[in-house]
Structure 1
Amino acid sequence: MKITILGSCLSGMALALRLIHSKHEVEICLPETGLESCSSGYLFNSVSFESLSSLGLNLRKWVTPLRGGRAHAASDQIEAESGSHLFSADSLRLHQEIQKSVGEDRYRFDSRFSHFEPRVGYHIKSAQFENGTEALADLFVGADGVQSVVRKEQVPGPALSLVQTHQISGTSKFSDSDSVLRGRVISYRVPQASGELIIYPVDSGTVSWRLQVDARGPLHTGTSSEELRQQVFQWSRDWPTELHPIFEESAITAVQSTKCSDRRLPHLFHKDNVVLIGKAAHPTLPDLYSGVDSDLEDALLLGDLLDEFEKGHFDSLDVCLTEFIRQRRPLLNSRIRRARAQQKRVLSTS
């Protein structure tokens, strides 16, 4: 089976790694001209860590182990809680390590998805790109994020609705993270911004952070990076003193604001030979604490099921892909409920 992955999300890259591991014919088509980093480092749990390691990635040498799934701040006191073991990783470094294992020849850059052919009927023969090229495959996987073009084109499902929260994510230079964060993920209620914040170290000189705020406040998705830096800096003046250096405008190296969205899970993640994974499949409210585990779980489970299909354990590809959402639905619904509860907390501080 030839499999073409459309999009540059981590779920697609991880799926390519999983499929190569079991000798599938794979290519990954990305709209960008090269590998890019995200505005904040990746956060994932110990199960995801072990799964990626089992596929040949030597993560232990460069990812950062964290403790304390959550910590809450009251006034100027940050109190740590014990929690599940987590790991953080520089997003660009993880993308590069996956590419090394998958093989650069399997990456097609500057391939922005346009539409499928044929346009009429169920079974898709080719993906067409804006640069005039195409990709032929037996299975197409949409891994192109929340605003997925693949989803809109082939597997629309329930409507995507915007909600009343923004998520601001960023990375800062901070050489004193060991003494302040002490290898923890910490969280902080931010009444000045009507929001909730988490901060976690990525390496010895870098920390990442995410802030969810009430969208009815001063921010909007058109806010420039410089305006975001200034706004976050102003909010941070009322936060615990030890956090101030993280949010100096000169310390923030990357920052991005996105409007959060939500929708109920669809009946299926696929239509004939096109399937969605990651945020393309479930573009639901982001949970500050869940990181990229859902994306990685999608990739690894879909890889396992496609192996089973190739061995003849499913009567058809449709049955195989239906099993994919059947197994994913309970945990995804649980995370959606948790994210919605978190949104209520954010809005309740307004």
Structure 2
Amino acid sequence: MPRRLLAVLVAAVVVAVGAVVVLRLLGPGTPLAQALARAPEATSRASWTDWAAVRRELGADVGPGSSAGEVEAFVDDAFARDLSSMSALGTSAGVIHDELGFSPATIAWELLAQSTDGAVEVIGLGDQADTDDVADRLRAGGWSEPEDDEGVWVGGPDVLAGVGPGLTPELQHVALVGDDLVLASDQVPYLERAVESARGDADGAHVLAHLAETLEEPLAAAVYDGAYACEHLAMGQADADAQSEADQLVEAAGGVHPLSGFAMGVRRGGDVRAVLEVEDADDAAQDAEARARLAAGPAPGQGGDFSDRFAVEAAASDGREVVLDLVPVEGSYVLSDLTSGPVLFATC
């Protein structure tokens, strides 16, 4: 091989390796994956709403100057498109908008990250709100101001009740990180740990972040680790007759393997993607075929057939991941209905 060509090839390899290293250092690229990477490492399940994308999808003309009624009407419109079911803020959006200075009408995104130890609501304010204004409103609302700018504003149930009805308990205690990040939890110690993850001082939920990458940029999504998925989506939650039917259907489809992760999200235009991660890449192709067959047939424990809710547009495997692309039937609520069990095609 000529030296000049060899040198060019070596340089290209160095550049490629360098690019991979840079990408790894920068972390995952999609907004959901980035948010998960800043959530506590112990996170076993996460609920995501990209409110900025939802506003664009619905053509919603809401913002900081909107009334509480206009904000609530927008959330109702999002609910009708199955785009608000993952939100912890939707049930009290108007109150939050008026009293705390942010809401689904203004924030960029929202992630509720939960584990066996606790839960934290992580909110990206975007460019329509700022932490200084939120701090002023917390102070006026009765939260105790921390000594550290990124410390915990301590509230509690009485403070929350004084703000207005219907607020999620996660807003009892609040932390402001940087210029545009709000964290909230009903537990002060867990919130303090979550702040460390958000700052990058502690590991984040990178395993879930990697899984979420395959959803690309969903408007709304749920992401579960394997233990949570195998418990909460399991056919064991169905009655005995449904379990017996499920066993026969799984056997007829060729069998499936245990899941190490599960994610489902609504994408632009309304289509839904499900990502099911198996423990061994050698099993993924078989699972893709079997789970696609299950997703096109009866839905024991849910009632009727899955085809009443969606059509399976594509099924494929990539590494350990099985990817099902689904086209919902108009008026169906695939994400909200099928992120709790029993869900036959997500069985372990």
The TM-score range, normalised by the shorter chain, is under 0.3
Identify the structure with bigger relative contact order (alpha carbons < 8 Å, sequence gap 6+): 1
The structure that is strand-richer by fraction is: 1
Query: Normalising by structure 2, what TM-score?
Result: 0.23
Query: Normalising by structure 1, what TM-score?
Result: 0.22
The structure that is helix-richer by fraction is: 2
